[in-house]
């Protein structure tokens, strides 16, 4: 059974119409990261942060999976493969394509978390800071269940174990500038995995990717997964 670790970035959602973060006119071109994606920004102005994700939610709800998402959902079904899929994205395009096990290491757009009791609330529509937690009743403790800069990503213990034992490591549509995700390839390579990057742009001086395949993931990834 071949163990494959796949790390997703915003680039895979780009062809489904969702903005990436660091491309020209990316999401961070219009907003200051420190205002809407950092724990300090949340503490300073929680209402603005909720408004930001309330703005993103409908766009993400409307987006449809592309050929890369579908190829990964098909790949997950193969009997000869053990797939560990991690995404940095908060959209649910992998789930819409049929993937069953998706680890959202930076959280999910359809959830809100209570900072008082840790309860996670499904949030299909709008979230608000002053909403009441339906478990502990606290008011003014709700935060989008998104991992902000300054917070620990999710699933890190599991991810560390999987990086130590995977045979193939594939990163898709990520600029490799945000840690700890950007360091996963180094760990996988250290433990003997063959490493691939599928991206639009070449990442200079990156000694950890054995292969960098340039192009749109919807065109390059399906054929690669079929041959793997
Ligand atoms: N196919 C493949 N790659 C693509 C495509 C595409 N169709 N379109 C864009 N890309 C590439 C871009 O070249 C870029 O290198 O996807 C990458 C997207 O990089 P970023 O915008 O930096 O997104 P990402 O790497 O996922 O950011 C990581 O940073 O802001 C935080 O929490 C946020 O999860 C995000 C994290």
| 106 catalytic residue (yes or no) | yes
Please give the model's pTM, rounded to 2 decimal places: 0.96
How open is the CA angle 21-23-27, to the nearest 5 degrees? 35
Average pLDDT, integer, range 199-224:
95
Average pLDDT, integer, range 178-187:
96
Average pLDDT, integer, range 33-53:
93
Q: Where does 19-62+107-146 sit in CATH, by number?
A: 3.30.1600.10
Average pLDDT, integer, range 82-105:
98
Ligand 1 shell residues, CB under 6 Å: 9-11, 14-15, 20-23, 26, 88, 106, 173-175, 177-178, 198-201, 216-217
DSSP assignment of 62-117, as one string?
A: H----HHHHHHHHHHH-TTEEEEEEES--S-HHHHHT-S-EEETTEEEEEEEETTT
Give the model confidence (pLDDT) of 116-172 as tens digits. 999 999 987 899 998 999 999 999 999 999 999 989 999 999 999 999 999 999 999
Ligand 1: nearest atom to the Cα of 10: 26
Domain boundaries, the chain: 1-17+65-106+153-228, 19-62+107-146
Write down the pLDDT at residue 29: 77
Strand pairing partners for 4?
83, 168
Angstrom distance (rounded) from CA 5 to CA 125? 32
Distance 177 CA to ligand 1 centre (A): 9
Write down the pLDDT at residue 45: 94
Looking at the structure, give the CATH architecture of the domain made up of residues 1-17+65-106+153-228. Answer: 3-Layer(aba) Sandwich (3.40)
């Amino acid at each position: 059974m071949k163990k494959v670790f796949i790390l997703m970035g915003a680039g895979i959602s780009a062809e489904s119409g969702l903005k990436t973060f660091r491309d020209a006119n990316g999401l961070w071109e219009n907003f200051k990261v420190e205002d809407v994606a950092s724990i300090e920004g949340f503490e300073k102005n929680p209402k603005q942060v909720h408004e930001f994700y309330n703005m993103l939610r409908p766009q993400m709800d409307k987006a449809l999976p592309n050929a890369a998402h579908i190829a990964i959902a098909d790949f997950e079904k193969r009997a000869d493969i053990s797939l560990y899929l991690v995404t940095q994205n908060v959209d649910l395009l992998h789930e819409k394509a049929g993937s069953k096990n998706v680890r959202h290491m930076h959280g999910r757009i359809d959830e809100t978390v209570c900072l008082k009791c840790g309860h996670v609330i499904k949030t299909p529509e709008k979230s608000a800071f002053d909403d009441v937690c339906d478990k502990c009743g606290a008011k003014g403790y709700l935060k989008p269940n998104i991992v902000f800069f300054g917070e620990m990503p999710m699933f890190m213990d599991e991810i560390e174990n999987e990086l130590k034992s995977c045979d193939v490591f594939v990163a898709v549509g990520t600029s490799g500038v945000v840690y700890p995700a950007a360091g996963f390839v180094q760990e996988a390579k250290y433990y003997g995995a063959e490493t691939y990057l599928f991206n639009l742009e070449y990442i200079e001086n990156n000694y950890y990717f054995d292969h960098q395949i340039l192009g749109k993931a919807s065109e390059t990834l399906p054929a690669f997964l079929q041959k793997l």
